């Protein structure tokens, strides 16, 4: 009878060990993909809130129109606004949004291409904006008497489970859910 070395592994033991490592690696990669969507959704919500806070800060500081505005550059703006469009992954910042002919987009805030604005309410159209007025420090949503604007963001892969909701009320308060 032959004697085998005691320190080596058999082929079956190696196959089982490699199979276990592959299964564990697959579970880690699957979990990473799910967490990546949540992380990108949180980053997009933070970007939207920062954009709203920026235009609110410009209005509170009674800022002049940005130098990128062709007409009236440097003159005092009447309002600053954040503009949202459904199925896009950006927020556009405006000076004098509701004044025809003088409105000026001065910045676009983009977030991950895998995230989109899935709905805006109570507005039924595909776009909405929130304006902060300098003169009386008021807040208007689509230049109407709406009391709040709800912006729903979702991961394009799953708009039913991965969502983030941002609510802006007519007092300028922002809430993320």
- Give per-residue pLDDT as tens, 21-47: 999 998 888 777 778 888 899 999 999
Average pLDDT of the segment spanning 115-122 = 89
- Give per-residue pLDDT as tens, 53-92: 999 999 988 888 888 876 666 678 889 999 999 988 999 9
DSSP letter at 76 equals B
Closest C-alpha to 151, from 172, 132, 123, 173: 123
User: What pTM did the predictor assign?
Assistant: 0.79
Beta strands in the chain (DSSP E): 79-85, 90-95, 104-110, 115-121, 127-133, 139-141, 148-155, 158-169, 174-176
Distance CA 107, CA 51 (A): 9
Delineate the domains of the chain, giving CATH numbers in brackets: 12-176 (3.55.40.10)
Distance CA 156, CA 160 (A): 9
């Amino acid at each position: 009878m032959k004697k085998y070395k005691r320190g080596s592994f058999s082929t079956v033991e190696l196959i089982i060990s490699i199979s276990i490592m592959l299964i564990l690696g697959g579970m880690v990669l699957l979990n990473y993909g799910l967490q990546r969507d949540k992380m990108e959704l949180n980053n997009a919500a933070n970007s939207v809130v920062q954009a709203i806070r920026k235009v609110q800060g410009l209005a509170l500081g009674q800022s002049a129109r940005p130098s990128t505005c062709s007409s009236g550059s440097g003159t005092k703006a009447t309002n600053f606004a954040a503009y949202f469009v459904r199925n896009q992954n950006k927020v556009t910042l405006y000076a004098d949004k509701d004044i025809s002919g003088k409105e000026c987009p001065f910045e676009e805030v983009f977030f991950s291409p895998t995230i989109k604005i899935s709905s805006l309410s109570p507005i039924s159209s595909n776009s909405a904006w929130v304006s902060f007025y300098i003169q009386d420090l008021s807040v208007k949503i689509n230049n109407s008497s709406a009391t709040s604007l709800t912006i729903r963001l979702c991961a394009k892969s799953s708009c039913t489970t991965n969502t983030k909701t941002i609510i802006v009320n007519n007092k300028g308060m922002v809430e993320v859910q």
